Amino acid sequence: MEYVRFGNSGLKVSKLCLGLWHLPPLKERDIYGVYKVDEEESIRIIKKAIDLGVNFIDTANIYHGTMQGPDYIHAGKAEEVLGKAIRGYDRESLVISTKVRGRMAPWPNGEGLSRKHIRWQIRESLRRLGTDYVDIYLMHRPDPSTPIEETLDALKDLVTQGLVHYVGESYFHPDDIQYIYEYSRSIHLPFIAMQEPYNLIERDIEKDKIPLAKKYGLGIMAYIPLAQGVLTGKYLNGIPEMSRASYVDEIRWRYLTPETLKAMREFHELAKELGVTDAQLALAWILRKSEELGVTIIPIIGVTSVAQLEDNLGSLDVKLSGDVMSRLEEISRMAKVNWEVRYDRVIKLNSP
């Protein structure tokens, strides 16, 4: 495994991060109709990743494992599973990121980025994870009802207390990221991370957020690097049983357009020609873009089996030529992602 500096910070991370938004589902559902998490396979995946050199693991307080937008009844499960999996490893060998913002309880302060909510949730996350600190604590979407300065001052206190080492944002407006960076510097808060969607067919961040990351030396954690599985070729002949699209409707509306499926067929042919899997080609493209752009971009891979994990880690050995990059550029232009059915939009805060 190769390790790189995360942006301009001194933190060293593996070139791929393991993400725990989705975990392998069991076929059995709970009393709310939600698929139960296959904890044994989840723990096998996390341990295997660590044993293969992945030191970077991403989760969130809200994550369940089989729900995209978990309710507060299901929230917390992914952190608990991670806590079980890392028992027995030296905590200092790992870089763990988690997030705060989503609803964790029905009461008024049960969500958000207020000082009160953050101080409650860091304690809860640490309890679920079974650890003393979080390496990167991310603001999981903006909270327009809390002044951003209150949030950043509260995060600074967590850093001073040793509960958090670094902080980051996810899906904030570029103007707000700039303000967050500047305010953080003024209070000596180590703001180092952006977590943003990025893959061959969803490249919005190339316009504004990648230039910002470059300007400020921030590292990017690229989420949905395989467009939730669409870039693995698994949907070329329908929707396989228990695949993510079989229980998450949004994938069908957002990605499975005739244009994207056509692009994915060409993508599949190109991968075959190169003797790699579709997933490896898609991840290798992001790693190559990171080099070209001169910005740390770490794909956060989500997997539901050890076999998928091993397949995806194979991308680290794939080197793409300029010619292949040009062909991928054409394929990227052919795809049509339905932005109008995106699950959320960037909210602009009233930062000065």
Asked if 312 is part of the footprint of ligand NAP (rule: CB under 6 A), the reply reads yes
Q: Which stretch binds ligand NAP (CB under 6 A): 46-54, 218-226, 259-267, 328-336?
A: 218-226
Asked if 300 is part of the footprint of ligand NAP (rule: CB under 6 A), the reply reads yes
CA distance 43 to 175: 39
Minimum distance between the CB of residue 109 and ligand NAP, rounded to whole angstroms?
Answer: 22
Q: How many CB atoms lie within 10 A of CB 178?
A: 16
Residues 6+ apart with CB under 8 A from 184: 152, 167, 190, 191
Asked if 19 is part of the footprint of ligand NAP (rule: CB under 6 A), the reply reads yes
Asked if 148 is part of the footprint of ligand NAP (rule: CB under 6 A), the reply reads no
Asked if 232 is part of the footprint of ligand NAP (rule: CB under 6 A), the reply reads yes
Asked if 167 is part of the footprint of ligand NAP (rule: CB under 6 A), the reply reads no
Residue whose pair of structure tokens reads 């989420």 in the numeric block? 223
Which of the residues are catalytic? 63
Answer for which of 279, 284, 287, 328 binds ligand NAP (CB under 6 A) is 279
Q: What is the DSSP string of 193-214?
A: EEEEE-BTTB-GGGTTHHHHHH
* Residue 92 DSSP symbol: G
Answer for which of 228, 260, 290, 315 binds ligand NAP (CB under 6 A) is 228
Asked if 243 is part of the footprint of ligand NAP (rule: CB under 6 A), the reply reads yes
3-state percent breakdown (helix, strand, coil) of the chain, nearest 5: 45, 15, 40
Asked if 171 is part of the footprint of ligand NAP (rule: CB under 6 A), the reply reads yes
Read off the tokens for 349: 């805060």
Minimum distance between the CB of residue 49 and ligand NAP, rounded to whole angstroms?
Answer: 12
Read off the tokens for 52: 């293969």
Q: What single letter denotes the amino acid at residue 316?
A: L
Minimum distance between the CB of residue 186 and ligand NAP, rounded to whole angstroms?
Answer: 26
Q: What single letter denotes the amino acid at residue 40?
A: E
Q: Which stretch binds ligand NAP (CB under 6 A): 107-115, 117-125, 178-186, 298-306?
A: 298-306
Asked if 287 is part of the footprint of ligand NAP (rule: CB under 6 A), the reply reads no
Q: Which stretch binds ligand NAP (CB under 6 A): 123-131, 157-165, 225-233, 265-273?
A: 225-233
Minimum distance between the CB of residue 65 and ligand NAP, rounded to whole angstroms?
Answer: 10
Q: Going residue by residue from 46 to 85, which x/- string records binding to ligand NAP, judged by CB under 6 A?
A: ------------x---------------------------
Asked if 6 is part of the footprint of ligand NAP (rule: CB under 6 A), the reply reads no
Polymer length of the chain: 352
Contact call for residues 292 and 326 (beta carbons, < 8 A)? no
Answer for which of 70, 142, 168, 229 binds ligand NAP (CB under 6 A) is 229
Which residue sits closest to ligand NAP, CB atoms considered? 302
State the Rg of the chain over Cα: 19
Helix (H) or strand (E) holding 301: strand 297-301
CB-based burial label for 37 (10 Å; 0-12, 13-18, 19+) = buried
Minimum distance between the CB of residue 281 and ligand NAP, rounded to whole angstroms?
Answer: 11
Asked if 304 is part of the footprint of ligand NAP (rule: CB under 6 A), the reply reads yes
Identify which of residues 45 and 152 has a Cβ nearer to ligand NAP in the complex: 45
Q: What are the contacts of 202-211 at 24+ separation with CB within 8 A?
A: 202/227, 202/337, 203/332, 208/174, 209/174, 209/177, 210/293, 210/295, 210/297
Answer for which of 118, 213, 227, 297 binds ligand NAP (CB under 6 A) is 227
Asked if 168 is part of the footprint of ligand NAP (rule: CB under 6 A), the reply reads no
Of 62, 97, 57, nearest to 76 by C-alpha is: 62
Q: By the criterion CB under 6 A, which residues form the site for ligand NAP? A: 19-22, 58, 170-171, 195, 223-229, 232, 234, 243-244, 279, 300-304, 308, 311-312
